[in-house]
Structure 1
Amino acid sequence: MGSAEENRIEDELSYPILLAEWVRAAAEEADPVHHLGPVPLRTPDSPVVSEVSKNLERTLTLVRKYKRQSILRRVVRITSATDFRKVSVLLDASIGDMWWLMGVLDTENNGTASGIFLSLPPIASNDPIISWVWSYIATVQMGQLTDRIEAANNLTSLARDNDRNKKITVEGGIPPLLKLLKESSSPEAQIAAANALFVLAIEQGRVRSIVDEMGVPIVVQVLGDSPMKVQIQVAKLVAAMAEHDPLAQEDFARENVIRPLVTLLSFEIFVEDSKTQLGKQNIHSIVQINKELEKFSSTGTNSRNYSYRPYAYSYSNLHMEGSSRGGNHRKERENEKPEVKIQLKINCAESLWLLAKGSVSNSRRITETKGLLCLAKLVEREQGELQYNCLMAIMEITAAAESNSDLRRAAFKTNLPAAKAVIDQLLRLIKELDSPTLQDPAIKSVGSLARTFPARETRVIGPLVKQLDNKDQEVAVEAAIALQKFACPDNFLCMDHSKSIIEFNGVPPLMRLLRCGDRAQLHGVVITKLWNKLGF
């Protein structure tokens, strides 16, 4: 146990020790109490110390009351033997609690706790789970590394059982779990800590507890410089915290978590592109590359110049920006199994999605990196959960752009490569897939970008009109909502877009929507009214 921890425990136990001394002195009628003044108010952190202190205060009050009375007052205001018996029972319970606490804090083997101490103190006689949680928290804080890992896993298991166990764990378990998360020498310890924190981070108040303990900088640091299996769990923790607490969203933004997430998400993507494009180089380009390589080798091994990598360099530069120490595990990442790499990308994409949700600032940060282009490429190449998470991230970013003109102009000009890649993939999903799960967010994204499309960009209108006839009514309604944004008077080009909708024969399916459910009718009526206003 470190000296700081010993000092903390000494400070916490000093008050009940002082109380016990006062009780003993008062009971012996040494009468120091008259000179001590009122008992100071203090609320110790530990529930055991708090309960022991409370029992000692009751005892001291009783002794004072008895000792200061005259014989006549004792007859009139009887302090019965029952009162003393009650206090005696409380003191016996406190002794048992302190024996339990000493067992938890037992220091052997060069100052570290040996094993996980599990027993039932009187304070927890009616609720043994409490003593288990307290023992596990103490072990995570002070035990040997293997015991700390086991205790963190046990806390995770208990917290999964019910909300009450989560609440008990949060009351004292966050600092030791964050301390364990920083154990860079043991990936197993970091995974155990991240799992425990993830189980706790499913409610705003508990997430706020992690934030208040300065957990966000620790999480970002570990995310940027850890083995891939650790990063998988930490990225999942980031997603959970961002989902449940807007303050955590803001804190993660301040700690620049976007950059390491984009770096991990883009791992190998731009390298693969560079290889593809490099394969298309003509003979002259290959000769030039060889000359550059010869020039580099002639400078000697101590040169700080980088080898000539025309496309891969942009990725490595992004990687270095993402984490100054991220290269420590680069080789390990390259040799990891494909399923591990995919799972990391899935969790990173989910984190970006939930960080961008309702946040213009985070959405802007993603577009300022290669995040938007990376998301578009993954939507194009991947399937399943990774594709879905990337698409949902795009949907949230486009929703933020709809509400913020500066972001819309900076990130979604149709001539920008990233914006073009995103729009191409959105239209592909709308036209080629028969999956409402993917079509809905794709249509919403296009609708959010309605103000960015010039009048000549009619390739967007056609697919949306076609989806008005989709057999899935939700898809049809989303298409109507998107078209409504094109035809809305707030859209500077509403006249041109409305003409395009009519030219693509959008009127008949809109009329059919009027005969469907309430939601479909509403949006069909809205578009019809807009056209009436516009003179169609």
Structure 2
Amino acid sequence: MATTATVTVTPTATTVTEYEKSLQEGLSLPILLADRVIKAAQEAESSKSECADLVRQVEHLSQMLRSCVRLAASTQSLYDRPVRRVVADVTKNLDRALTLVRKCKHTGVLRHVFSITTSADFRKVSSLLESSIGDMRWLLTIFDSEETNLSLPPIASNDPILAWVWSLISTVQMGQIKDRIDAANQLASLARDNNRNKKMIVEEAGILPLLKLLKESTSPDAQIAAANALFNIGNDPETVRLIVDVSGVPIIVGVLGESSMKVQTAVANLVAQMADVDSIAQEDFVRENVTRPLISLLCTDMVLELPKAPSTTKTSILSIVQMNKEMTEKSTSKYHNQVSSNSDGSSRVGGHSKKERDVEAPEVKLKVQIAYAEALWKLSKGSLLCCRKITETKGLIGLAKIIETERGDLQFNCLMTVMEITEVAESNAELRRAAFKTNSPAAKAVLDQLLRVIQEESDSKLQIPAIRSIGCLARTFPAKEKRMIGPLVGLLSNRNVNVATEAAVALGKFVSPENFNCAEHSKAIIEFDGVPPLMRLLKINDQAQFHGLVLLCYLALSAGNSKALEQARALHAIEGAARSVGPQHPQLKDLITKAVNHLTLYQAAAHPHRQSYAP
């Protein structure tokens, strides 16, 4: 749209010229028409009184149009959507007036032919011109920063919200700072009310003025109002894509790294929502390195260094204390230098934010951290690039420490971020090996907290992402690693069916034939007495039965000679579950057949006449 040239980027001289030319041409046409109407009315040979009345209206319109031209020429960033709509309507009405008054010049027979409905036409055209005068009067007042305009223009009489939206967007783009804040807040409220209002704000070019307010304003209240309005507008893929297309992502990332804490909260919420609803926006944010300010801000005042493995050399307790003190001081200094240096220009966290953080209320600090963590969670979902950026920094350590020390939404958001990273790592061996190798301090810190959550927490909302994360990393654990197996087996008996089912899913990844150590992990599950609770899981509901059956089949394939499976009558259980689950999940047919045949080999003595199972 025409106003986009001056909002987010510095336009070239050619762009500005074309924009000004286009607007000037749009305004010059009705002015020329007005002059022609006046001239034609003065030459009228009939209905002179009616023509004189029209001339007065047209002269009034002409003056207003010229005022609009002067306004457009003197205003650096004119919001032109209502200008173009109103001027187009005025032009149409002036054209009708010109056609009418030209009829009044004819004499003789032609005069009688063309003047049959002249009186009615004059009343109709006069009414249209009066409406145009009302539109122009309203148009000029909304651009007057010193005048409050609560009137409704005739052009928007059938849709009052349109006039309101025009007025608010115009104020956001051209008004004084206090008025811009109020207008942005009202746009946010309108967008929140219903989708029609939101769509109208978008169609009437409301996104760019809000981005401009967010980027250029030195008022935190103005930036918060702009961010909140964009948040309420950008809640669907189509609208988010529009924000992306007008270079909104670099603006948002820049504000996030440089603004006050309250602004950062609103902007981080906006990042989270945009990344959640549109994958293009998600990847654009990651490419703009939004993860760096998010991690830096999330982990402010946190020591992100883990102590190295102790040396075999004998060291006194005093030396250890001194070494730990030096390590902490070095880490803190290194971190603050890092977040202040802003080497890539996209994520500066300057001294102002640090000072503000020191004096800010605890609840404000918590709120902004929750927003940072949610943004990282939404950015990480399915994004290999984002997960790499987080794991290549000290992000995993920071997430682990927050999971350990915090509670509520902050802990949950960090757990969800870890879960998204592990889900990406499950399907990407390179990321899995780089970020979660067994001797990595960051990986160990994360795994310790995941285990702690599933063992100590009782809230399934926290347990489930921790269980899924461990399951996604199943292929990283060596054959002798049983630390993860025991707690997961214990959850098979959990009273919450969803938790028990998630445990079965995770254990299934440990004993899947795709896992190189499936045989050893299967033995571990049996050693931890996992078969009895698994058999009970098969009797609960469809989902639990499905995942329980998969796990039991895997155990049968890897540990078919187990006494525990025989005593639990696993063969009978698989066959029974297959009859109820098999028809609904035909993809299990081959797995069930292999498991039954494998168990039959070891239990043939107990069932001498059994035939091979074929569902």
TM-score by length of 2: 0.74
Aligned counterpart, 2:332: 312
Q: Structure 1 residues 430 and 88, CA, compared in 2 at 3 Å: closer, same or farther?
A: same
Higher mean C-alpha deviation, range 201-210 or range 455-464: 201-210
Deviations 1:315-342 (A, max 9, x none): 2244235634623322122221211111
1:131 pairs with one of 160, 163, 167: 163
Q: Structure 1 residues 289 and 499, CA, compared in 2 at 3 Å: closer, same or farther?
A: closer
Aligned length: 497
Could you list the runs of 5+ residues in structure 1 that have no partner in the other structure? 31-43, 107-112, 275-279, 293-306
Amino acid at match of 1:168: M
Secondary structure of the equivalent of 2:254? helix
Secondary structure of the equivalent of 1:219? helix
Aligned counterpart, 2:39: 28
Does the 8 Å contact 2:250/2:288 carry over to 1? yes
1:108-507 correspondence runs (5 A)? 113-114=145-146, 116-170=148-202, 171-270=204-303, 309-320=329-340, 323-324=347-348, 326-507=350-531
Deviations 1:129-173 (A, max 9, x none): 222221111111111111111211222222222222222222322
1:91 pairs with one of 118, 129, 137: 129
Q: Structure 1 residues 115 and 190, CA, compared in 2 at 3 Å: closer, same or farther?
A: farther
Deviations 1:240-267 (A, max 9, x none): 1111111110110111000000000001
Q: Structure 1 residues 324 and 177, CA, compared in 2 at 3 Å: closer, same or farther?
A: same
Higher mean C-alpha deviation, range 140-149 or range 177-186: 177-186
Q: Structure 1 residues 464 and 321, CA, compared in 2 at 3 Å: closer, same or farther?
A: farther
Deviations 1:54-106 (A, max 9, x none): 45236536845995999888988998445554444333222211111110112
Q: Structure 1 residues 374 and 67, CA, compared in 2 at 3 Å: closer, same or farther?
A: same
**Take 2:500 and 2:135, find their aligned partners in 1: how far apart are those partners?**
66
Q: Shift in Å at residue 191 of structure 1?
A: 1.4
**Take 1:184 and 1:47, find their aligned partners in 2: how far apart are those partners?**
24
Q: Shift in Å at residue 416 of structure 1?
A: 0.6
**Take 2:482 and 2:496, find their aligned partners in 1: how far apart are those partners?**
24
Does the 8 Å contact 1:116/1:139 carry over to 2? no
Does the 8 Å contact 1:48/1:97 carry over to 2? no
Q: Structure 1 residues 371 and 522, CA, compared in 2 at 3 Å: closer, same or farther?
A: same
Amino acid at match of 1:163: N
**Take 1:318 and 1:476, find their aligned partners in 2: how far apart are those partners?**
43
Amino acid at match of 2:84: V
Q: Shift in Å at residue 16 of structure 1?
A: 3.9
**Take 2:147 and 2:336, find their aligned partners in 1: how far apart are those partners?**
45
Q: Structure 1 residues 156 and 9, CA, compared in 2 at 3 Å: closer, same or farther?
A: farther
Amino acid at match of 1:143: G
Q: Shift in Å at residue 9 of structure 1?
A: 7.5
Amino acid at match of 1:145: I
Deviations 1:481-512 (A, max 9, x none): 11111111111111111111111111111111
Aligned counterpart, 2:23: 12
Q: Shift in Å at residue 517 of structure 1?
A: 0.3
Matched, 1:53 2:88: yes
**Take 1:79 and 1:489, find their aligned partners in 2: how far apart are those partners?**
93
Q: Structure 1 residues 223 and 494, CA, compared in 2 at 3 Å: closer, same or farther?
A: same
**Take 1:505 and 1:288, find their aligned partners in 2: how far apart are those partners?**
45
Deviations 1:4-27 (A, max 9, x none): 799867853641431341354167
Higher mean C-alpha deviation, range 212-221 or range 128-137: 128-137
**Take 1:128 and 1:413, find their aligned partners in 2: how far apart are those partners?**
62
Does the 8 Å contact 2:30/2:87 carry over to 1? no
Q: Structure 1 residues 530 and 309, CA, compared in 2 at 3 Å: closer, same or farther?
A: closer
Q: Shift in Å at residue 175 of structure 1?
A: 1.4
Secondary structure of the equivalent of 2:478? coil
**Take 1:411 and 1:78, find their aligned partners in 2: how far apart are those partners?**
87
**Take 2:183 and 2:540, find their aligned partners in 1: how far apart are those partners?**
57
Does the 8 Å contact 1:243/1:354 carry over to 2? yes
Does the 8 Å contact 1:513/1:521 carry over to 2? yes
Does the 8 Å contact 2:82/2:139 carry over to 1? no
**Take 1:502 and 1:225, find their aligned partners in 2: how far apart are those partners?**
55
Deviations 1:375-422 (A, max 9, x none): 111000000110001001111111111111111111111211111111
Q: Structure 1 residues 271 and 450, CA, compared in 2 at 3 Å: closer, same or farther?
A: closer
Matched, 1:103 2:141: yes
Q: Shift in Å at residue 430 of structure 1?
A: 0.7
Q: Shift in Å at residue 289 of structure 1?
A: 12
Higher mean C-alpha deviation, range 10-19 or range 171-180: 10-19
Secondary structure of the equivalent of 2:539? coil
Does the 8 Å contact 2:135/2:155 carry over to 1? yes
Structure label with greater radius of gyration:
2
Q: Shift in Å at residue 288 of structure 1?
A: 9.6
Q: Structure 1 residues 67 and 461, CA, compared in 2 at 3 Å: closer, same or farther?
A: same
Does the 8 Å contact 1:118/1:131 carry over to 2? no
Q: Structure 1 residues 17 and 84, CA, compared in 2 at 3 Å: closer, same or farther?
A: farther
Q: Structure 1 residues 272 and 151, CA, compared in 2 at 3 Å: closer, same or farther?
A: farther
Deviations 1:336-367 (A, max 9, x none): 12111111111000000000112111111111
Secondary structure of the equivalent of 2:206? helix
**Take 2:279 and 2:134, find their aligned partners in 1: how far apart are those partners?**
44
Amino acid at match of 2:28: I
Does the 8 Å contact 1:66/1:74 carry over to 2? no
Higher mean C-alpha deviation, range 123-132 or range 485-494: 123-132
**Take 1:222 and 1:46, find their aligned partners in 2: how far apart are those partners?**
27
Amino acid at match of 2:91: L
Does the 8 Å contact 1:114/1:143 carry over to 2? no
Q: Structure 1 residues 93 and 420, CA, compared in 2 at 3 Å: closer, same or farther?
A: same
Q: Structure 1 residues 97 and 285, CA, compared in 2 at 3 Å: closer, same or farther?
A: same
Amino acid at match of 1:226: S
Q: Structure 1 residues 471 and 15, CA, compared in 2 at 3 Å: closer, same or farther?
A: same
